[in-house]
Every structure is written in structure tokens, then in C-alpha cells.
Structure 1
Amino acid sequence: MKRIAQITFRLFVGLTFIFSGFVKAIDPLGSTYKFTDYFLAFGMDSLKEIAFPLAILLSTLEFTVGMSLVFNSRKNIFVWIALLFMLFFTPLTLVLALTNPVSDCGCFGDAWVLTNWETFWKNILILACTLFIFWKRKNDENKNPIWEQNLLLAFAILVAGTLSFYSYRHLPIIDFRPYHIGANIGEGMRIPEDAPSDEYKSLFTYEKDGITKEFDETNYPWQDTTWKFVNSEQIKIKEGYTPPIHDFSISNDKNGDITDMVLNHEGYTFLFVSKELSKINDVTINKVINLALYSLNYDVQFVAITASGKQEIEDFTLEYELPFEFYNTDEIQLKTIVRSNPGLVLLKKGTIIDKWHFRDFPDANLIQGDLAASSITKHQTINIKLLIISITSTLLLLLVLFRLIRIRFAREKNRLRL
């Protein structure tokens, strides 16, 4: 029975680490933004520069620890790492739950959003399982050669690193955000009629004979004139329904709010997204200008949105003589829409048809026929397939190599015995 429990706990903790590492590895910028949020919330602004390498390191470490536990490779080392990891993050998540500096811990990226209290209780469970594995770590040793176990872990590091590198230079191979391909932005903003609303509790402060006392709606002394009203406040006691997409709007001083116009446009819309105009290079902006001119010629709506300030927008527009104007959108929304600065999104009636990292912007000269049927919308699927095929092929090659080497060693051992 203990043997079954040990294997079950080891697989549970290992798979949890693999999942956590994987969803972070395919969205390194998402983890970077989350680390930055925490650094700012705790007044550690100077650490923002290490947010990105820390995101890569954390995802790789989690994925490798998970692989070690699942395949029981070098477990005596990695169960120590898992234990130290949980001993650090469990008290930390308790502090986060009590202070709530950031509403979402980000431990499972956008794949599974947990509150800080849910994260804390999740960590308590994982810590308990990890402690059991740690105490029984010598009862479940892997008999395979050390070099073979090391090779498996090296492969885990390679996979995590490759996923992070690819997703950073292009786009996440799996998009768990509400702006994923196929999502309709307008529908994501709607609140169902029967959705629960936020619930608040009113508190009233009154003063009498130099004594200040707090009351609520049920007992405040509204008829007792001896009590003097001081102030009141409302406290949220229950969170209502929040739509997947909120705080999304497109507007500028000249044309006002054009959000509905963009989302309800019957034809295609190119949405050029840049949270920071100063980071755009000349090669990219030339591609964007060509796409904007293509849009003008073929009745495609082209809308540019940014979080940059008015003066920066004016300077940037004059410098490149842009044939389009910019609209403002919240920076958080821009970072959520596409993990690239700049990025490009193709819409039709508010539905996301495709998205591009700036390294993959389509060439306007190669666009032919209907945009949805054009080869420009197939790039992401092809790249993902190639990545999966490459990783799978590498794994199969390693497995075959393992087998051939072990057969060779076994034959050599038998020959020496003879």
C-alpha cells in the first residue's frame, strides 16, 4: 500500500511540475509580466530587469523537476529541489493570499487561473505529497545507468528551453488567453443576464461622547440623534462575474471611441498592436506601411492601437510618414492580445482569424485572394507542427540510441565474461 501511495504521489507532484513548467515555457513573456507585477507590488522595481531570465529559469526548472519525478531519474537530487521549491513558495503564497498584491498568482499561467487562496491550498497539498516522497526517497530507486538518467534530464532541459525560445521569438504554441485565434472579442466582453454581480457591505462610522463606533446596515443609529455621523464606506464582500475580456476599448481624441465600429466591421480588419512605439525597428514598420497601403487598396480596415503617449505617437507618425493614425488602448490589454511588440491581428466581425509576431508579419506583396484562405494565415499551424515533429523525432532518436547503447554494453559484458 505504501508503495502504491509513493508512486501515486510521485506521479502527481511530477505531472503538476511538468504542467506548470510547460504552460510557463510556452508563454515566457506572460511569466515575465507576472514577475514584474510582483516586483512592482513589493517595491522592488530594480529587479524588473531580471524578470525575463527568471521566467525562463523557473519554467525550465519546474519542467525538469517534473520529468525527474515522473521518470524516477536522479530523484534523490530533484526531490530535494522540489521540497526546497515548495518550502519557499508555500509561505510566500500565504503572504500573497493575506495581502493580495496581485489577484492572480500566475503559477499555471493563463491555462488555469487561481486566486491566491486557491494557490495556497494547492501548495499545501503538493507540499504534503512532496514531504512523503522525500521521506521515502530511498525506497524507490531507479536501477538504470546514471548516464541514461542524466540524458533524460538533459532532454527535459532542451525541450523546455526550445519551447521558451520558440514562443518568445514567435508566439506561444498554445494560446490560453481570451484573445486566442477563433475567439470573438465582442462575445468575450458580454456579461450574461443571469451573471452574479459584485456584492458590497456598507459600513457607517458614528461618534458619541468622544467615542467612535462602526455600524452596518442592520444596526446603524439613524434614529438616535445623540450619535453624530462621521463617514461611510462600501466593502466588497463577494466578487461578481467578470467577463474574459474587459477594459478593451479603441479611441483617440479625434474620432472618439471606435470599438464597436472595429468589432462589427463586416469585412476584414488588420489590428496593428504596439504597447511601446519606441521599440519598433525600421524593417518591421516598413512591412506595416505596406500592409496599410494594401488595406487601403483592397477595402480592408486597418487600425493601429498603442499605449504610447500623444507626443510619442505624433513624433513616430511624422518620422515614418505613416498612412494611418493611432488609437489608444490599455497597455495590459495590448500585452494580452498578442505577445509581441509590435504584433498583428486579423479580425472579421470581431473574430480573431490569425495573429502574428513581428518576425512573422506577412508580406503584402504575397497576399492573394480572400485573406482567410490566403497562405499568410497558415504560418502558425505549420510552425507548430514542425516544432512538435522536431521534438518527437528527437525523443524517438534518443530512445533508439538508448536501446542500441544498452544492447552494445550488454554484449560487451557477456563477451568479457566468456
Structure 2
Amino acid sequence: MRWLGAVLLLALFAAAPVQARAAADDAPRILMMLRLAPAHFRAGSGYGGGYGEDQSAAARRRIAAAVARRNGLRLAGNWPMPIIGIDCFILTVPRGRAPAEAAAQVARDPAVEWSEPIETFEAQGDPTPNDPLYPAQPAAHAWHLAMLHRTATGRRARIAVIDSQVDARHPDLAGQVAVERNFVDGAGAAAERHGTGIAGVIAARPDNGVGIVGIAPGARLLALRACAEQGAGAGAATLCDSLSLARAVSFAVEQRADVINLSLAGPPSRLLETLLRIGVARGATVVAAYDPKLPGGGFPASMPGVIAVAESAVGQAGGPYAAPGRDIPTTQPGGRWYLASGSSYAAAEVSGLIALIREEHVPGRRPALVSARPGGGEIDACASVVGKAKCAGLRR
């Protein structure tokens, strides 16, 4: 599998919450968290959690600037995250100084809740152009998809695709995207391969005479761009950073997404973990791609409560779930289709499957996967959706 990735950097400080900067400026930066006043958060507050009448905003900026000066850093921006009660400030680290060391020093300041470096995350997929109407969807056969769709299609499920730019005008995705947001400023607005491919695997339209059928065609997508692609063609790198991901996750949680798909992997991030824990506590299912080269499969796959998915079975106790992940036909920008491989696409299939389970199961009950071994291995999709006894009858 070809690993995709690079670093997205952040914008200069402005009065409003900043956007992420395109990757031209490679100065190292860290994140510093200051606690928001409890009264700041209001139910239903919009994207970005704007300060509004919060009179402590200016005071927090002054505190942040003072902490930066005390530690030899420069204040570069901020992004409030009221859903977890913090204001995230971005600090520039002088060249030659390790960001991890700077973050550890800042974290010891009594005014700071915590601090962490901005980490890099990589999309876990390897797209290979091929026949755009290739009919053999592995999940269609392995998971008896047509049979499952007679029972459930993922109706009413809202699935957050946190990835690169989705082509919402693709003929297999037209009408399937309920919300679009861009959390990466300065990277252009063109549709991108990885995000479009993930969206197609999950929710491509059925019975429209072209392309493929998504695992959950009745679901609606929140296309949340937190990653961007560098270059063009099959070798284009898909890149994200922990701040753009955190902003997208925060939005998904505030919007009450039923499923949050993260087809990527990277190092641990306390900020991301805090946001994801809030999402899980509110009933969302988080699905992440498993990277066998990283400890525990990488983050967020290694996080408790997250469904980790690999493209093939990993023979170990407590290993990830396995779903079809090789030669997956899916959507490509510009109204085309292509073949893709990797745990990115296996994770997308499981996100769609979770939507089917949610539709068929008792409301409020957390979806559960039936697999070869507890908590991992090959997934029995039919048994997961309708139960082993009923599934045996359907297969006759």
C-alpha cells in the first residue's frame, strides 16, 4: 500500500477564528488549549463556536500572547471549540526547536490546559485508475449487498466523511451530500480523488443506470474537507493535520452525525481524542482505517471505542475488523469511476454497514458488528444487520 501524506500548515492570527494555511509555509507550530468560561457554550451554537458576547475572549488572547512570549514562541492564530470547552491557540515555534519540546514546555505553564504539536495524518488508500464501470464490487458478493438492501439502506443516517474534497456533483453522488464544509483554506475547491472515492463506497446512488451502489445508499453524507491533495493523478498525496481534523470532527459532533468516517491514520492527539470521546458519548459511531505500520494501527484506530478496520484480517487477538479492501470500484471526480485499494476503503464500507445496522436495530442501541472473533476479524455483514438466525433464512 502506498502511504499518502504531507503537512498542512495554518493561517496567521486574525480577529475571527483562523482558517488553515496552504502548505507553502513550513514553519513548525503547536496547539495550546485555554479553558473557555462555562457560559460560553450554547446548545445549537454554529460552526466555529464564535465568541459572540463572550467578554473573556480578549482576555484569553492576552493570556495566550503572554504565554507565547514567556516561552519564546509567537502567537499565530486561534480556533475556539466550545463543544469541549477550550479555545485552541496556534503558536509558531522557532526553526531548529523541536515542536514536541516546545509543547511540553508550554503545557507546564499554569495558565494552560494542555498543549500538543500539530501532527500529520495520512489517508490509507492506493487508488489505481481502471475500467470506470468495472462491475465487480467485492462487498456486493462477500456481504450479499442486494439481499441486505431489501432490509436496510441506511435511511435517515447521517455519515460524516472527514477527508479531502468530495465531488458532490458526481452522477453517483448527486443528492447524496446533505452538508458540505471546507476546513482547509487556501488549497483550492476542486473535487479530489480520495474523499470522492470514500463517499462513493459509502453512499453511491442505486438504480441510476451508471457506476456502483454504495453500502448505505439511503444515508446522507456530511462532506467535511479536512485534508487536501498535492499534485495530480493516481500518485497525488492526501494530507491532513490535527487542527483541520479537529475542526471537522467538532462540526460533525455538533451536527449529531450518526457515523464519523476517518479513513486515515497518524500519531495520537489529545485534542482529537477529546472531541471523538464527546461524539461517542453522544451516540456517534467512529470508524477509522488501520495502519499496520503504526503502534496499535495508528490513531484514531487505536482509540478505545473506535471501530478499527483493515483491508485484510490481522491474525492477532484484539486486532482490527476486516472488510473487502482490494480493487474496490468507486467514484472519481469528473463523473468517472476507478479501482482503489487500502484500509481507507475497507473503513468506508464498514461506515456504510453501521448505517444499515442503525436502521434495522432498536433506536438508541449502539450498533454491533458480528465477526470471526470478538472485537475483530472478518465481518459477517448479514448477521450484523439482521441477526444470525434471520440471516440463515435469507441465505437459503
| TM bin (shorter chain) | under 0.3
Give the TM-score normalised by structure 2. Answer: 0.25
Which structure: greater strand fraction? Answer: 2
**Higher-RCO chain (CA-CA 8 Å, sequence separation at least 6):** 2
Which structure: greater helix fraction? Answer: 1
Give the TM-score normalised by structure 1. Answer: 0.24
Which has the higher Rg, Structure 1 or Structure 2? 1
